[in-house]
Structure 1
Amino acid sequence: MKTVAEALVERAVGWRQGVVSQLHPVPHSLSDVDVEGWAAVPEPFATGGTSGGTSKVAAIAEALERHAAARAPLEIVTDGECWPLEHFSLHTVEQRVAPGYRYRKGYVDTRYTRAWTLPGNEPIRVPVGLVGLDAAHGLPATSSGLAAGPSTTSALLRAVQELVERDAFTTTWLHSIAPQRFAADLPHGAQAFDLTPAYSPHPVVAVAGSLPIAGKPRPTLGLACRATVAEAVRKAYEEWVQGTVFVEVWLARNGDQPVEDVTDFDKHAVYYATRPAEWDALPWFTGFETEPPRDAESRGTAAELTELVHALDRADVRLAYRELTTPELSAVGLHCVRVLSPDLAPLHSDHRWPHLGGRARELGWRYPHASPGVFPNPAPHPLG
């Protein structure tokens, strides 16, 4: 029997009046893992693209959060305390003056909107182009730190966890670190990696591996930050499974010629499927095996959020949030928030312009015992 929440959320789907125009199961072949997958497509005029999830509700919610980020009105604010765009861990001055820099407009004409700090809940001005999903502001518009949930608290927890997991992966990748592996008893040869930074009480786990189809490799990676290792492994494994299916669909549509210009997340996701020898040579797989990371101490949405936010605050990691819930989301019982931080590095979609600015180069407070390699890593990351 459907819950009230499920019934409300599914009302958002429909080609005539729905916010989500389509919901359909992800196709599987005999070479795929038997895990349910769904894709929800926002209305054609919205930014954000296709969203996926292992349940109908998760897929719809992910599409709705992109709708909200593209549609929520964001006022322009010119007075009050501010976190300047230059403080965010995006691009260095050297990158911004280089020929062909694609985000120059965002730095020339930066506008700001209101957000509120965590945990202090004080007003702060932040770049409006980092809050919504409007490419017209000229800044990297991604879904990192964007989350929807049945309450503002649950959405905030998932958004902060996503910032942490993306910072962890971006940092380890850019610094060419070989993360520690741990036994997780995963099927199909998938391996689990501990990416947990020193500042986070919530473990960060990556699951990586290749699931061949018709003899062709499908290397990909899943990533998750949760309060327990078991939850993080499960979520990262589900993302890995979804990634293998995406690779299959993309290759069927575009062919398996080696990807040359890695300029969006889709091409990042399939790059190593078209260049499998480069996947096998990555330093990522040379780390040693150790024990799994520790679980967080708190349980329950509010307690987990409090524990994580205060840990980041003690590490001098600034956080701010903005509620983006639109009337459409409210009508189906969902809340949407964006959380952003100048101190955490978001993942880049264009390999030509990795995020090297702000605190991206700082390794000691994240991984004090790591042995870094080449910075920045010349290899494209595999996360779509």
Structure 2
Amino acid sequence: MNRNDLKVIQGGASNAVTVGEHKFISAYVTDTRLMGVIGLHIHWAIESPSLFSDFHQFFYFDAEEFGLETYRSVVGNESFEITLIEKTLIDGLGGEKKNLNEREARYLVQQFVKTTFALNTTPCEPQSEYAFLLEDPIILNAEELNAIADKLCTSMKSHHQVIHYYLMRTFGRDIEGASYLLSKNAQIEEISEKQPSTLCRNTIEEFLNPDGSLSYLSESLIEVENSYKIVLSELKLENEKVCFAKKRSSFSVSPAEVAMLLNRPEFVTLFEILVDPDEFESEFSHFSAGAMQTIHDNGRLYLEFNHNNDHVIRQTFRLNEDVHGLYYISDYGQLVIAAYTKDDIRDLENRLHKSGINLMIIPTAKYEFKEPVLYEFIQSDFDDFNEFIESLQ
């Protein structure tokens, strides 16, 4: 299900949620600020002349491009609707949930809206439902700001993780995000491009300086305005913070070179769908709750993300390693599942086998490719996956 397919649960109380007294019950935020996105949930009790009920608000914030991108709400405590929104907006971020007090929750919403306008975008609707959170400006002291920063940012488990996150935020021109990883007196030079860029891949090598200090040389593949560059930079760390950063060189790379750098195996299992498309769609919508859906000319693709961001800890970072698996339902009546490791494809297969979908499909082929082909199939004019593979041979 696409995040934008979710609707406000009216329950006959759409106007009542904007008036009356909102009594704070609880709130949590995901510790994913260094990934550039945040999920926030606030739980209220509403008392008004026409309503006495629980009220749940969900916010999805993108620090680089869109600001406050998505807002959803639920009146009452309908567990299915709440769980569905959490799976769609929150769980895919790969972070842990950190409890907030009311002051912190209100502050974050106010910052979300402020940043959204700074990005020259408009906060998502209906703004009237969260307007009451903006009425009284919240100003945090230094101690409170440090406390909320600790909740927004996951704890660092490796030096590689610090560097990957810092470069990710820097290339995205997310100054606030990068600042969470800087030491107090850091000596940094401009590493990023003038335009926000995406860190697609980053490798790190360590070397000792003549003075005995340790430096990290990063080779970063970035995408900027539909072209690619490699940026070489040197960084130093102090107490899990970046204390020195300097660009050494940068150069453009061709699409062929990019393909080589991002290349990795892809494991694919093909199924034939045995039932009516509407019947299958109904069952699959429950199975894929929380996956991100994109619509294509000949079918629908569902991306299932990992439940953590451990791929940032490794010495080599790849942006797409947060994907656990892919499901493509073609209009031709095929289900194609894909993953980038053998363990992941086995997990996808086992979960399908244990679900109600198992009686609706039959496996017909298994493939192992040296490089990804599913996206190429989706963008091709072929309806049948087997015929597409034959054409490649």
- TM-score, normalising length: structure 1: 0.25
Higher relative contact order (CA 8 A, sep 6+): 1
Question: Looking at CA atoms only, which structure, 1 or 2, has the larger radius of gyration?
Answer: 2
- TM-score, normalising length: structure 2: 0.25
